Every structure is written in structure tokens, then in C-alpha cells.
Amino acid sequence: MTLEESIRTRALELGFDGCRFTTAAPPQSAPRFQDWLRRGRAGSMTWMGRSAERRLDPQKVLPGAKSLVVVSAAYRAPAKGPWERGETSLVSHPVGYIAAYARYDDYHEILKPGLRELVRLINALGGPGAHSLAYTDTGPILERDFAQRAGLGFIGKHTNLISRRAGNWTLLGEVLTTVALQPDAPEHNRCGRCVRCMQVCPTQAIVAPFELDAQRCISYLTIEFKGAIPEPLRPALGTRVFGCDDCLAVCPWNRFAREGAILRRCFRGNLENASLLPLLGLDDEGFRRLFSGTPVERTGRVRLLRNVCVALGNAGDLAAVPALRKASRETDPLIAEHAAWALRRLGA
């Protein structure tokens, strides 16, 4: 077998759903990314600006890099979500919506062993002096750009990667290496005239095709953002307490989606329908017990309860008033302020 065939075969044996190759040349989207940063679209994610120079040149991450091996792992599409049940039924379904990828063990830990194995294999095949680094959403690499150039999928108008085999429900990992590998053909954009993802976004965060304003994005607001959620945007959150799948879920390419093997064994079914009131009652120990080892753990109890307060205010269930009154007396001001807002929204 060729080097490429050996690596791809091993990647599939390890449970990855796709494995393709591209060069370590700078991503073509560099000007767009720099403009995105200049416009302040990254919000409080200042680390993206600090690492911008490395993100735009793989040589600054790994001197002598020649290739990237990009792998994918498909996860389960959500059975239902706010985009299809609508605000009118939130009272009868007072559950907190958790993004589909976060209903698993932490994907960083799931993909890491396989990526390390690929590093060992690539270094061995490359011979003396070969050096490789593995990342999964952890390093200064514009991974979706390289995934498109490697042919794993194309970046849609919502700025996420779309796979013709797995739809929108795909996680990525990459190995940056000094070993020269034959690049695969890139994928081309296949959105056509479709703008469903732009139309469905509750906060109009997709301000133009292929341009996301993170400061309006519900995933950013409920996961990355550490402050008080802007009041004008709170009603649009509905009952989403960690992330948002709306723009992903409406994509027509999802008709080909299927869950891959590497993630299937790590699914946390108890996170599909997490009742809001029990979530609001979580103390530190209860939070760790429920979310330990999942992506939600990184956000922490305080920010999750901030989101839960907003969700309860939007759900319209007056049974939440006693719990919200208790939360409004929390010592943490972030929880207390959002609980007070929820009470006002409920007319209490």
C-alpha cells in the first residue's frame, strides 16, 4: 500500500468515518478570517486574535510541515429541537435543549487516542526526522478550511462544515506532519441558492452568506460568553441551555447523515431531555455528577444556570417561580440577575 492508503486504512480501523489529505499551505480563507476578526465578529474570544498569525500559517505551528491528515467522526442527529417544536409548545415541553454533539462524552477525549495512534503511524512511515502534531478543535488551525480542501466536506453559508455523507453532524481532527502526502481533491460548495440556515437562525447571527457574528450566536452566548447575555437576545434563546443546532438541523444534506462507530458507544441519553427545574437546582456536586466528562462540564455550573434561568423565563411555566425566586437570591450575581429577569418575564 501507499503511505496514503496505509494511513487511511488505519484511520478507518480506528473508527473514524473519513480520512483525507491536503497540503500544509496557508488556508485560502485567510483574508476573510482577518476581516472577520477586524469587524469584532469573534466577540470576547480574544484568543482567536492572539493566535491569528499561527492559524494563517501552519509553518508557524510546525516548522517544515508539508501535509495535513484530516479525519471526521459523525455523531447522532437530534430527534427534535426548538426549530421544529416552536415557542408555543415550550410550556408543555419544559426541557433544556443541549446541542447534539454535547450529548456524548467530551469529543476531545474520544478522538484523542485515535489521533495519537495516527501520529505514531505517520512518524513511523515517514522515517527518521518525521514529526507530527495532532489536534481536535484544540490547536491554532482553521480546521474547517483544511477539511474542505482535503475533500471531507464544504463550508456552508452557516460557516460550518457540511459532509455529503454525514450532513452537518461531524466532528473533525487533524494531524499536521512534516511527511509529504499526496493531497486529495478539494470539495466545492454545494449550497446553491439554499438559505434555510440563514432564515432559521433565531438571532439572525448569520449576517451574510458565510459570515457569522458570534456575538449574536446562541452557541457562543450559552457556551463561550462569560458575562450577562444581552437582554434583547434572551427571548430568542428559547429553552436552549447549551448550544444551538437550528442552522445545522435544517440543512437538506442531512438526509444522508448517520452516526459513526467511534461516537456511538459514548452517547449520554440522559442529556436528550434535561428537565429545566432539576437543572436549576443543581449544586456543584450535582453538576459534576451529571455533566462530568461531557463538553458541558467546561462551561461550568454558573454559566449553565444562567442559561437555565433564561430558558425558564422563556418557557412560560409559572411552576418555576419559587425556584427562580430562590435563584434570584444566589450569591453569584450572574445567576441572580438572570433569575430576576426570568421572574419579570413570567410576570412574577
Which residues are known to be catalytic? 137
Are the C-beta atoms of 221 and 240 separated by less than 8 Å?
no
Q: What φ, ψ does residue 138 adopt, rounded to 5°?
A: -125, -20
**Residue 200 grid coordinates:** 432559521
Cell numbers at 73, concatenated: 467522526
Angle of CA points 238, 244, 247, to nearest 5°:
110
What is the C-alpha separation between 139 and 134, in angstroms, rounded?
A: 8
Cell 445545522 sits on residue? 248
Which neighbouring-strand residues pair with 97?
Answer: 240
Backbone angles phi and psi of 147, in degrees to 5: -65, -40
Those residues whose C-beta lies under 8 Å from the C-beta of residue 80, and which sit 6 or more positions away, are: none
Please list the residues that pair with 172 across neighbouring strands: 72
| Residue that is written with C-alpha cell 454535547 in the block | 102
